[in-house]
């Protein structure tokens, strides 16, 4: 029974190490592979931190196990003694982590700047849509096909909700706004998380490596309906994206006379993903 606690405290670190070791292969660590180049770099940062923290974790737990087992092995009851500490040791375990933290903060600067600092954005990235978060949906405004997005609404702008279509293979930018409270634009598969703050317009750029549809969720508790504030990001071929804008334009100019099919069917067409529109 004496060995129960030493074994108990050694068992969990081993479970943890095994879990972290196999988790990348089992896809437990991230929500799928990063679908953007910048996202892959962000993943690499996470892995770097995992390695550093993992080494420290394994080291300290080997030490802890050693101390526990030695303590159990001592049969004689000695009085415990109180240490006022070792100045050298304290300096060491303060400076070493500080050095590691400094290294991490400097090492990630490059990725962070590319992600957040305007002067480090890709050269010819242009805003393709304005996404306005509101309780509890994402309202999206596109410029008319062939035009640039203006800061203020234009008469020929196109509007939709909860479905953000973007072309893949090139960097695109969206302008993020909020109509009411603070929300957060979170696309886990693209490794994007950016708060939408009322009163400001925040540019976010990203590049999607392949076509697909990704979950868009709100990552800032924004009210009772926060959980239902879901959208989708469709990454599609440039031609499909242009076709989408044209369909949206036809729908938005619909005057009830010119033939377009039933309104329900039209909307149904928009809510379908790129996989189902593969014919175009």
Binding site for another protein (CB under 8 A): 135-137, 139, 153-155, 159, 161-163, 224-225, 228-232, 251-258, 262-264, 267-268, 271
Q: Which residues contact 87 (CB under 8 A, 6 or more apart)?
A: none
Q: Helices 37-73 and 87-107, interaxial angle, to 10°? A: 160
Residue 229 CB, nearest approach to another protein (Å): 8
Considering the complex, what minimum distance in angstroms separates the CB of residue 201 from another protein?
17
Q: State in angstroms the smallest separation of the CB of 135 from another protein.
A: 7
Identity of the residue, 89 or 257, whose beta carbon is nearer to another protein in the bound complex: 257
DSSP string, 68-131: HHHHHH--S-PPP------HHHHHHHHHHHHHHHHHHHHHTHHHHHHHH-GGGS-TT--EEEEE
Nearer to another protein, 139 or 175 (CB): 139
Name the H helices within 174-258: 238-252
Contacts of 276 (CB under 8 A, 6+ apart): none
The three-class DSSP label of residue 181 is coil
Residue 33 beta carbon to another protein: minimum distance, rounded to whole angstroms: 23
231 or 274, CB closer to another protein? 231
What gap in Å lies between CA 279 and CA 106, rounded to an integer? 48
Least distance (Å) between residue 154 CB and another protein: 8
Nearer to another protein, 239 or 271 (CB): 271
Q: Which is nearer to another protein, 43 or 180 (CB)?
A: 180
The alpha carbons of the chain give a radius of gyration, in whole angstroms, of 27
Q: Are 58 and 13 in contact (CB under 8 A)?
A: yes
- Nearer to another protein by Cβ, of 32 and 153: the residue is 153
Sign of the C-alpha dihedral computed for residues 60, 64, 67 and 69 taken in this order: negative
């Amino acid at each position: 029974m004496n060995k129960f606690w030493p074994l108990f405290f050694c068992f969990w670190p081993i479970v943890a190490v095994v879990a972290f070791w196999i988790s990348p292969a089992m896809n437990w660590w991230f929500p799928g592979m990063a679908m953007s180049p910048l996202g892959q770099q962000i993943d690499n940062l996470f892995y770097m931190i995992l390695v550093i923290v993992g080494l420290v974790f394994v080291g300290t737990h080997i030490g802890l196990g050693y101390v526990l087992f030695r303590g159990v092995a001592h049969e004689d009851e000695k009085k415990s003694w109180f240490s006022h500490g070792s100045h050298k040791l304290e300096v060491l375990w303060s400076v070493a982590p500080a050095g590691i933290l400094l290294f991490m903060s400097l090492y990630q600067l490059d990725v962070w700047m590319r992600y957040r600092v305007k002067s480090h954005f890709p050269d010819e990235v242009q805003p393709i849509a304005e996404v306005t978060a509101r309780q509890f949906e994402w309202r999206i405004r596109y410029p008319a096909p062939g035009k640039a997005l203006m800061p203020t609404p234009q008469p020929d702008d196109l509007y939709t909700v909860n479905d953000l279509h973007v072309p893949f293979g090139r960097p695109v930018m969206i302008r993020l706004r909020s109509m009411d409270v603070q929300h957060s634009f979170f696309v886990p598969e693209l490794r994007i998380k950016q708060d939408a703050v009322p009163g400001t317009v925040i540019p976010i750029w990203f590049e999607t490596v392949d076509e697909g549809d990704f979950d868009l969720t709100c990552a800032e508790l924004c009210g009772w309906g926060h959980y239902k504030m879901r959208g989708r990001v469709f990454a599609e071929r440039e031609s499909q994206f242009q076709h989408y804008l044209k369909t949206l334009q036809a729908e938005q100019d619909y005057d009830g006379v010119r033939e377009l099919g039933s309104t329900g069917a039209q909307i149904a067409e928009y809510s379908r993903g790129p996989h189902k529109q593969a014919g175009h």
